[in-house]
Amino acid sequence: MFTKRWVFLGLALVMVLSLLAGCTTQLKMPASAPQVNEPLQSPGEGEGFVGSLWELIDYWEGKVQLEDLTGTEGDELIEEALDVIYGTPEILEVIETEIIELDLVAAAPILADTPDGMVAIVSIPAIPEVEDSKAEIIVVLPESGPPLVMGFITNINVIDVHGAVVVHPAFLIRAWWWIDGRIIWWHYWWYDSHNHPNWYYSWWYWHYRYYEYYDYRWYGWYTWFYSWYYWRYWCYWSTWWAF
């Protein structure tokens, strides 16, 4: 009887120790786990990566010389941008389904001297299919490498709004960009811009991570372009201090 009792106690002890060992194995944290106050680093945080909206909006300052192009030079850049738009089936499909007309008279060609070489930017306002909306298509032509083509459709006037507060019940934006034969859409909306200053960084971040995930090269000037584009068109709707 005494022997059987010890056998059972021994078996029970073994089972308990086994369970505890199993729980310990499942709950054990890796030795390299970061502390709460340490930033999580991604293997894809390479060329042109920024970790916040504030880093993004300061990225271009002091690094780029800009020149507005007019006359023949400007017209040639606009024609080159239109060749990219109308020569790319995926972009042309967006134009045909989302846009009524491109406002070529208001097109703005700019030449940028960046640390990565010369980059030409052509911004073309557009009239979208959706009533009371605004739209624009931007074609960026680098000295070397593929062009960057993107656009947006929104319910606010991002070009002429400076100097006047325009009240909208909600901010809506549908942004897209062209990558290697694909049109990638990004959607966002809010009711109170005071509480959403970081939406623009989300747009940039989605774009950056998409390149990383599909193993496309992210050129450093892409981030510079987003930084410049923020100040040219979007800062009024992105940060609380505009109000």
Residue 112, domain extent: 64-191
Note whether residue 105 is domain-resident.
yes
What's the pLDDT at 191? 63
On whether residue 184 sits in a domain, the answer given is yes
Tokens of 161: 């709004």
Q: Is residue 177 part of a domain?
A: yes
Is 174 within the bounds of a domain?
A: yes
Identify whether 222 is part of a domain.
Answer: no
Segments in the chain below pLDDT 50:
1-2, 4-5, 7-9, 11-44, 158-165, 239-243
Listed in sequence order, the residues at least 6 apart from 184 whose beta carbon sits closer than 8 Å to its beta carbon are 176, 177, 178, 207, 210
Residue-wise DSSP of 220-231? HHHHHHHHHHII
Q: How many domains does the chain have?
A: 1
- Rounded to a whole number of angstroms, the CA Rg of the chain reads 26
At 238 the pLDDT is 57
Q: Is 235 within a domain?
A: no
CA distance 22 to 24: 5
Per-residue pLDDT, 141: 94
Find out whether 176 and 183 touch, Cβ atoms under 8 Å: yes
pLDDT at 121: 95
Residue 167 has what pLDDT? 52
Beta 117-128 vs 108-114: how paired, if at all? antiparallel
Q: What's the token pair of residue 11?
A: 């078996």
Cβ neighbours for 75, distance < 8 A, ≥ 6 positions apart:
none
Q: Would the pTM of this model clear 0.95, i.e. be above it?
A: no
User: Can you give the pLDDT at residue 117?
Assistant: 86
Residue 166 lies in a domain: yes
Asked if residue 57 belongs to a domain, the reply is no
